[in-house]
Structure formats: structure tokens, C-alpha cells
Structure 1
């Protein structure tokens, strides 16, 4: 019984990231070369125009992009259009296997109880850069993390910092970004950026 409880505690810790802050980053086009001047404008969806949280997301993102030499400029003169998508949802626990036929090994249903008093949430951020002149997508990066806080604003500094920890990320497409909380109350700081092993 003791061994089962220890295993359950370890599983819960890995879900919540108790060992430290981290996020998994995926790029759809690693080693992309962003040519031209580093100016952008944000292309908003109608739901983002009416969202109370979205301006805070954009402020965090603008600050981090400025550290990478990007300037927010007027829509017509910007070299890139930047699309932002983010999402927070309850995380499901599942078991995967490489030998399963498609449709056979699906995610198992959520457990009827919450381990150690809290439900886990999955937070995700995707940034897509399009050349304004051609409309072609030139770079796409996604960051995801899990914790027990359903508030997307709480996760956003970690996701923004992770998605832009390397800019652009080169091959391979999958990375793990480890961060630490700033004790002075600022945003998280990147500790390491390592490729995920296949």
C-alpha cells in the first residue's frame, strides 16, 4: 500500500510540475529563417477583441518579442502578421502505446476523483508568423505546460517565455524549457533549453 501511495504522489508531482517550472515546446518548421525587418502587427480574432484577458497576453508577448529585436508597427508597414492562440482545459490522464491501431488506443476517461485535492489543467500557447506580403506562414511555435491553476493568466508568462526561449528554435522540433520563478515577483527566468529525446 505504501508503494502505491508513493507512486501516486510521483505521478501527481509530474503532472503539476512540482519539481520546477517547465514547458514543452514544439515547432512546426524548425530551422526557419525569418528574413526581412523584424516588424510585426498582431492579427486578432473577433473573440480576442472582446476578451478582457487578451490585452494582458499581448502586453507580455510584446515585451518578450522586443527582447528578440521585434517591433510592433502599424498594420500596413509590418513585415509579419502574428497570430496568437491560447487555451486552458482540464488535463486528461491517458496511456499511450506505439503498437496500437488507430482508434484503438485512445485517451482513457478522466478519473472520477482528483489526486491530492486538485484537478490538473493543460495550458497551451501557439504563435504563428506570416509574411504579410505573401500570406505564407514562415514560423510556428507552440508551448504547453500543466499545473493545478485554471487561470490562463497565471500560466501565460511561463508559456510566452518558453515559446520564445530560442528564436527561432532549430531542429529537432521538440524541446523542454525549464524555468525558475523570479523571487522578486518578475516573470520566470529560463534555466535550460534542451531537445526532447525521441
Structure 2
């Protein structure tokens, strides 16, 4: 099959980009902030979820509680009836949408193939040139999860952690597994710790089984852990 020069180079570019992207892993990056006076031991980690009166029959909150419960279980927490629980766990959550505007270049290539430029044509000294910039607007969504742990007997707050991330995902329920896993990674964190957690993106929009990789260094003391977060 005969191809004109432009078609040939377009196919070369597409093939090269496909090869580059196929070896990449996409991560969900979440900022986590913790405040802590935690002194509990594994033997005392019994808890029950607590709700405000207007949240009694909230199915959305029930869904998020199940996700958080799965993460708490990995840290030796055991869910019991509220009358027997040492701790009460309350959740707060939300999503906010904004528009971001980016100036993107418009490219023009005045020379025909094969001189289309590196790296796709190693012998070509020239490539496409930006001739103008066009403003493009895109929606961005910020997702938030807060987990507050109090002592049932005294009402004293002993742990409060928030997780926040942003991206093109418009569904809070799809973002929630990443928020919950990030918020409770390396529990308990020290007081005033701010850190970044990176979790591999799962194709089914759920938390991946892969170990999260270190992200940017964060301030404050942190508990030792074998996985999930940067120190």
C-alpha cells in the first residue's frame, strides 16, 4: 500500500507515542494532613461509625464507611456495636469543581517529509514550530475525605486526618478508595504531618493492589512503614 509522506510520518509519531505510553504507570497523587494524640494499642482498637442526625439513612455515607472500614481493618481496627466501641469514627467528604485555562501552542510545519524533526526523523534538522497560542479551558475536580477518631467515653479527639486530591475524575465515589487508602496509610502518623501519597491507578477505578511508590518528601515526623507513602 502506498502512503504519502505526511501519512507515513503521522503513523510514525502515533507508533512512537504508543510505545512511550505503554510502559508508563499512572498514579493518583493525594496530599494527606494528620493531627494526632494517638496512644491506643492494637488490643483496644474497637470502633463504631458515628453520624449526625441528618445522616442516619444516607446511602452515600454508608458506601464510604465500608471503604474506610476496609482500610481500618488493615490497621487492626475491629468494628463493633457503638456501646462496646472504644473509639467513634466520623467521616466528612466532598467534591468541588473548577475550570482551569491553559495556553496551548498551535504548531505548523512548513517543510514536507522527511524533514519533520527529531526524535522521529533523526536526519531532519527542522521540526514543527509554534505559530500561536490558544486558550483551552478544562474542568478539574477536587476530592476530599476527612477521618476523625474520638474516644467514646470522653469525647476527646485523638486522631484527625484529611486527604485531598485533584484531577479530571468527576465522581467522588470512584475517587474514594484512593482517598481512604491514602488517609490511613502508615497509621498513626505524627501530629502535624503533611505528606504526599502516590497510588497506582487501577483500570477499574478502584485502589490497585500494587504498592504505592514514594512521592515528594513532606514535613513533620512520620511512623515507619514498608509501603505506600513518602517519608
TM-score (norm 1): 0.70
2:58 aligned with 1:51:
yes
Which residue is 1:192 aligned to? 214
Which residue is 1:109 aligned to? none
8 Å CA contact retained: 2:88, 2:149: yes
Instruction: Give the counterpart of 2:86 among 79, 90, 110.
Output: 79
2:189 aligned with 1:169:
yes
Check 1:92–1:143 CA distance in 2 against 1; reply closer, same or farther (3 A cut): farther
Runs of 5+ consecutive residues of structure 2 not aligned to the other structure: 1-24, 101-134, 221-231
The root-mean-square deviation of aligned C-alpha atoms, in Å, is 2.6
What secondary structure, in the 3-state scheme, does the structure 1 residue paired with 2:145 have? strand
Check 1:181–1:49 CA distance in 2 against 1; reply closer, same or farther (3 A cut): same
Check 1:87–1:184 CA distance in 2 against 1; reply closer, same or farther (3 A cut): closer
Which residue is 2:4 aligned to? none
Check 1:91–1:167 CA distance in 2 against 1; reply closer, same or farther (3 A cut): farther
Shift of 1:58: 1.0
Question: How many residues align structurally?
Answer: 159
2:175 aligned with 1:152:
no
Shift of 1:125: 0.6
Instruction: Give the counterpart of 1:68 among 56, 62, 75.
Output: 75
8 Å CA contact retained: 1:129, 1:137: yes
2:40 aligned with 1:20:
no
Shift of 1:56: 1.3
What secondary structure, in the 3-state scheme, does the structure 1 residue paired with 2:44 have? coil
Shift of 1:121: 1.1
Q: Give distance in 2, aligned partners of 1:193 and 1:139.
A: 23
Shift of 1:53: 1.6
1:11-31, Cα deviation, whole Å (9 max, x unpaired):
xxxxxxx962110000123x7
Instruction: Give the counterpart of 1:138 among 147, 150, 158.
Output: 158
8 Å CA contact retained: 1:162, 1:177: yes
